[in-house]
Structure 1
Amino acid sequence: MLPFALIEADWAAHSNLDENSQRLYILNRWRGRNEAETLEGLIHRLKGDYEFEYLQNQVEVHPARKHYDIPKILLDSTPGSNCDLIAAADSVGALYPFLMLELGLCYKEIEVVREKNPNNMWKIIFTLLEKWRQQHPKDCTTRNLLDTASFVGIDTTQIQKMV
């Protein structure tokens, strides 16, 4: 019998995901099974195949700050309501684990919420976004949500319209 990680890697490699999404999927699953491992440790493991500086630069990429047709006061402050979270929960879809990891939630938190809400992706996403807002009160602006969602490949058009 093949190890589970190899089966998942094979699934990702043959699915309809683009190449970057396949890599993120495999990295996300690896990270969930190797919680004590640091990103630096992974980079050192891969060092034989890749240049260390190249990998370091790839890992340190952050979401670009974009322009939105939304008043600055709404973008750069913590919203008084959850309208941006509701709009995001409606729009994020299956890329939610990558968004949550980029927003600063850990893999275990994502899995716990996912297990508590099977078959309800909207509730999973909304609950995780609320958790992000609670854990990162200084960074939980609508702009950060939009920039990060865009960074992981989520179309933010609907979120922008609903804010």
Structure 2
Amino acid sequence: MKGLAAVCAGLALSTGAAWAGALPDPQASGAAAKAPAVLEHYAGALGCSFSMPVKTLLPFTVVEPATLEEHPLYLALFQVDEGCVGDASAVRTHIAALQPARNGGLYVVPGYSQTSPYLPQRIDRLFVEGEALRYTGQASLDPASPEPQAGQLSQEGGRWIDANLEPLGD
């Protein structure tokens, strides 16, 4: 397969031109416009005060190592007050994987939509750099302590983790 590939915790994430045709462009297909409503419904199970400050979908393909089966998905960021605490300290960014539905809609793929509590409280951006899926963010939502962070994401058992901060298998 052409393009960039990274093997992360037993899953290969294809992030190059070879998979670009696997999913339609999120803007042109309308997926980007549908994502906020789908994610808000999903976020209701996690907490309250949903927001999606970054309305960008990042297409990528998960390749199952045992079968080499490819799963084209969109990756999205959203924020929610976990447990409906009502305090900014409870608001966290989550990473969700979305897949186009046969009826033209989108649905969340729970098996690739868990976010480690060890990632920064706010993730501002997801991007591909070389062969790595990376993020930038802040450890705290408090503007007085910006503490910028950056890292590389990996998938382990459906959970997005920082490959450099968390040992696999934790």
| Structure 2 length-normalised TM | 0.22
Larger fraction in strand: 2
Larger fraction in helix: 1
Q: Which has the higher contact order (CA 8 A, sep 6+)?
A: 1
Rg larger for: 1
| Structure 1 length-normalised TM | 0.23
